[in-house]
Structure 1
Amino acid sequence: MTAAQIGLGAPCVELPGREHHHAGEAEEPPLRLLLGKDAVAVVKDMADRLATQDAQWRHVSESVSV
């Protein structure tokens, strides 16, 4: 289930202008930035569920040669 499906809208926005970031700058700007009070928790929950699913199917993923 996505954040949008549970009525939270888009907790993550893509930031324009990354292509203009210079290698010598101290900090690399994020590709996506989580916004909103609950965004970090929602995305972490989604990532945890995805990691669990990946672990359950790891044997199948690793058995395929591409």
Structure 2
Amino acid sequence: MRLIGMILALAAIGWVLFEASGGGKGDGAVPAEYRQSLEKAEALEQTLQDAAQTRLQALDNKEE
């Protein structure tokens, strides 16, 4: 009986902690505004990488 009581108590504590943390309803630890900024930064990084790749290919073509 003690074992069942401990398991039920641990389950209740776990449930309370889960609900206190948002109950799985949250979008994550990063706020939406920061996520948008990260997405813009990733897009900018991709654009810069594409431009650098194009420039390197142009330089390689000039050497040939």
TM-score, length basis structure 1 = 0.34
Rg larger in structure: 2
Identify the structure with the greater helix proportion. 2
Q: Which has the higher strand share?
A: 1
**Normalising to structure 2: TM-score of the pair?**
0.35
| Structure with bigger RCO (C-alpha 8 Å, 6+ apart) | 1
